[in-house]
Structure 1
Amino acid sequence: MSLIKKIYNKFQPFYPLPANDPAYVNCSEVRGDDDIFRKIGKTILFSDQATCQLYTGHRGVGKSTELLRLEDYLKKDGCFVVYFPATEGDIDEIDAQYTDILLACTRNILEKLKEYASPNPLLNWLQSRYTELKDLALSDVEFEKLSIEAQIQVFSKLTTSLRRIPSSRETIRKQVDNYSVSLIEALNEFIEDAQHKLPNDQSKIVVIADNLDRIIPLEKGNDRTSHEEIFLDYSSQLTALNCHVVYTVPISLAYSSQATELRNIYATPQVLPMIMVKNRDNKPYSQGLDKLKEVIEKRVHLVDSTIDIDTQIFDSQDSRIELCSMTGGHVRELMLLMQSVMRYIDDFPITTRIVRRAVSDARDSTYRNAVSSEEWQKLAEVSLSKSIPNDEDYRSLLFRRCVLEYREFDGEGNPVRWYDVHPVIEGTPEFQSALRDLTNSEHSAVSGQ
């Protein structure tokens, strides 16, 4: 039991790996040669002007781990990096607006750079808004009587209120929205001051706002959601910071009808796809499965480096391959399934029967409920075509990880994007029925020609 417990805790699904962690596995070759250093890092390092870039991918695919690696890479190349996971301390993902992101950036930049620059521009802005905000019980003391540190902490109280106290949101957002121009001017003055006072070996300031891809889309009318409102309608505010910025965004936004507008504003969003576990002909992709084996192996070997994965952790290679295949190449799903199978056993190895039990639980308790009755037909279409139409219904399936994105290389060595249904969903009776109906319909259409 002690061995199971030790290994179980090496598969934490909700904690990204820090940079240079020994459990990290580079999967770029089975993700269409994705490389965050080349695509985002070098854009920052090469550019003399401030840049604003977008990074996306399915939730749980490994974006935060890659962004922490990017933070380390940029620091080693002379950048001062302000990384923050927005939904952990600043933003409510269920109800978010651009004002929340702007305020979160302000709080984190101020907190990380206050030792290098005078906070006065930002504190003056806050003092001028304090009369309207005082009813939020930020402090019983008049603003000018607070210490400098206490004044700085008011920004933290504002973001905490935004995240935890819905009744306070309208008041805070109104002040930030009405006076966003002066807030950005104050923030840029602070950033410029810090830039001049940073050590000579830190030439660029970079802000990485993680977890914004978790923001839930809210309908705003005219076929637009809060995603378009935040990142397009208020893009002038989000791109106005006088430093390099990387925002994570929902994957559905990257493939919306507004993709060209996104490119015009931010350049093309960089996407972290799934690890390929099968190809477009539905045949197992051994290179991807080997990478997932390596992910398991590295974590197990942190407990005991002598353990053989396919004989001591699993009862056979087939059992391990079946579990890896059912993840769809989704790293968090791998963590969740590994923990799930270990809860069913008192001792290793893990059998195929246990793998199938854990997959069945995930199917019935989660994925089956994520699909509405009218969506099974759409999933069947994706399964056959390996593509998705430019339609909000399909983008919603992508956002919910019912449909997964992959990239592989064509005959000329260029990465090609394609899609497939999550393997766990493929085992549901509803999907199998929809797939049979669609296949029979296509055969009938061909026969009638």
Structure 2
Amino acid sequence: MAQDFATLKKIYNVFDPFRPLPAGDAAYVNCQEVRGDGDILVEVGNEILLSDRKTCQLYAGHRGAGKSTELLRLQKNLNDQGCFVVYFAADEEDIEPEDAQYTDILLACTRRLLEALKDANREPLVSWLKSRWDDLKDLLPDVSLEGLEVEKEIPLFAKITAKLRTEPSLRHKIRDRVNPHTQTLILALNQFIEDAKKRLPSQYSQLVVIADNLDRIVPIVQEDGRSNHEHIFLDRSEQLKALNCHLIYTVPISLVYSNRATDLRDIYGSDAQVLPMIMVQTPKNESYQRGINKVQELLQKRVSQIDPKLSISDMFQQPEALQQLCLMSGGHVRNLLLLMKSAIKYTDNLPISTRALQRSISETRIVYRNTVYADEWQALAKVHHSKQIVNDEQHRNLLFNRCILEYRYRDDKEQIQCWYDIHPLIKGIKEFQDAFNDLNPSETQLDETGTD
């Protein structure tokens, strides 16, 4: 029994959905062929490697789709080809996704560049900090600049970003005092960057900053009727682009499908690259075995890290249970791993029982049911029927909440086709079934499991 528990514990933890895979990890699966043939190394990486000017690119996709894992692959690839890459997950220590503004991002970039480029001349940023200290010192009463050396003054940027993230009462005060001086901060930061680029080790010829997890910034409609996403990525785009190095920002997928999509392209000079779901079903609601096989490979590679002899297909009481798990995930990697972890939690001994899997599915379905507002069921029914979305605030929110998922494939003419569907777990919710059956009374209705 102890041995069974030890094995289950290892399996449970190998499916950690919140740990991006580092570049070269044995558990990584290349899903390019079932994600519309997109490749971040080509679409984003080559833009940097081929360009004679600095670039600023946007990278989008549903939260939990695997963007961080892909960005870590990109970081290594660029590093191998002569780029010094500063990567950071902005929500870990720098910004609060529930309440973030452009100033927070600028300060986060400043802090991370200072930490990564230790040999560069920091004097311009130290001078900026000293010039602003009378405005900020009462917000940092435990810190004094008097008599401190440069090396000890710089961590104050980390203190500022920490307070932005963790202390709501100070967040707006810090922004109010920094906002009027962001242009001078950018000027000082660019002076620092220029000196840093000259001091990079000989194998590096370019500097790249990747700010990850900005896509987690929660959409908020502000007093002027526009979203905070627009204020950050459109209104402050010139400042976001102003740093004198290559830049990659993750952005909320809902912004990419807003009525400002063409503005994004015009402003940033290229389309935002999107990481779609793994296609586990077709637009005709049929299982797509190539995609399902990829999902199973993803699970198998993680299990093999524990014991190469373990087979993912043998871990379920019934063979069709694994197929169901893959389909119910919708090709969403984090959902897949969460469903797997939950099923293991209700398992005492392998194989995983059908009852444990169904409980995992049912509990996650409840979460999705609680996410959907009463007036959104009909919109979801229309998306499931048409496989398309309407460009409005309601559908953008449903994209952000992962109730609607995006898929891509190449057709017979090698054209990329983009389509949408609801998360498969929603099909089993009564409110959705009622809305769908009311909308399509003459068609085959959904049964209690949500199957067409």
| TM-score band, normalised by shorter chain | over 0.9
- 1:114 Cα offset (Å): 2.1
Contact 2:295/2:326 (8 A) holds in 1 = yes
1:45-82, CA deviations, whole angstroms, 9 ceiling, x for partnerless residues? 11121100000000000000101111111110111111
Between the aligned partners of 1:15 and 1:157, the Cα distance in structure 2 is: 25
Deviation at 1:234, TM superposition (A): 0.6
1:314 CA drift (Å): 1.3
* Separation of aligned partners in 2, 1:419 and 1:201: 44
Q: What is the SS of the residue equivalent to 1:419?
A: strand
Following TM superposition, by how much is the alpha carbon of 1:315 offset from its aligned partner in structure 2, in angstroms?
A: 2.4
Give the drift of 1:221: 4.1
Normalised to the residue count of structure 2, the TM-score between the two structures is 0.95
Alignment partner, residue 117 of structure 2: 113
Q: Is 1:276 aligned to residue 258 of structure 2?
A: no
Pairing of 1:334-345 with structure 2 (within 5 A): 334-345=336-347
Deviation at 1:200, TM superposition (A): 2.2
Local SS of the residue matching 1:220: coil
Letter in 2 for 1:257: N
Is 1:256–2:263 an aligned residue pair?
Answer: no
Paired residue for 2:354? 352
How much does 1:441 deviate?
Answer: 7.6
Partner amino acid for 1:44?
A: I
Quick check: 1:87–1:93 contact (8 Å CA) kept in 2? yes
How many aligned positions are there? 439
**What's the secondary structure of 1:219's corresponding residue?**
coil
Q: 1:302 aligns with which of 305, 329, 346?
A: 305
Matching of residues 298-447 of structure 1 within 5 Å: 298-311=301-314, 313-364=315-366, 366-440=367-441
Residue 206 of structure 2 corresponds to 204
**Deviations 1:233-263, CA, capped at 9 Å, x for gaps:** 0101000000000000000000100000000
For residue 245 of structure 2, the aligned residue among 243, 246, 249 is: 243
- Residue identity opposite 2:293 in structure 1: D
Instruction: Give the letter aligned to residue 56 of structure 1.
Output: A
Give the whole-Å Cα distance in 1 for the aligned partners of 2:316 and 2:141: 55
Partner of 1:91: 95
Contact 2:48 2:55 in 1 (8 A): yes
Q: Distance in 1 between matches of 2:232 and 2:74?
A: 24
What is the alpha-carbon root mean square deviation over aligned residues?
Answer: 1.3
The question of 1:170 aligning with 2:172 is answered yes
Secondary structure class of the residue paired with 2:248: strand
Gaps of 5+ in 2: 445-452
After superposing on structure 2, the runs of 4+ consecutive aligned residues of structure 1 that deviate more than 3 Å are: none
- The residue number in structure 1 matching 2:447 is none
Residue 34 of structure 1 corresponds to 38
Residue number among 124, 132, 135 corresponding to 1:132 in the alignment: 135
Cα deviation for residue 316 of structure 1 reads 3.5
Tell me the secondary structure at the aligned position of residue 107 of structure 1: helix
Q: How far did 1:442 drift?
A: 8.4
Q: What's the offset of the Cα at 1:174?
A: 2.1
State how far apart, in whole Å, the 2-side matches of 1:138 and 1:209 are: 30
Counterpart of 1:230 in structure 2: which amino acid?
Answer: I
Alpha-carbon deviations, 1:15-42, whole Å to 9, x = none?
1111111011010110001100000011
* 1:287-326 Cα shifts (integer Å, max 9, x gaps): 1100010011001111111122222x11233110001110
In the alignment, the residues of structure 1 paired with residue 235 and residue 11 of structure 2 have an alpha-carbon distance, to the nearest angstrom, of 47
Partner of residue 74 from structure 2, selected from 60, 70, 75: 70
| Runs of at least 5 residues in structure 1 that lack an aligned partner in the other structure | 444-449
For residue 290 of structure 1, the aligned residue among 285, 288, 293 is: 293
Q: Distance in 1 between matches of 2:443 and 2:179?
A: 53
Partner of residue 191 from structure 1, selected from 187, 190, 193: 193
1:122 — aligned with what? 125
Say whether the 8 Å CA contact 1:127–1:144 is kept in structure 2.
Answer: no
SS in 2 for 1:145: coil
Query: Identity over the aligned pairs, expressed in percent?
Result: 55
Counterpart Cα distance in 2 of 1:80 and 1:439: 55
Q: Indicate if the aligned counterparts of 1:138 and 1:154 stay in contact, CA closer than 8 A.
A: no
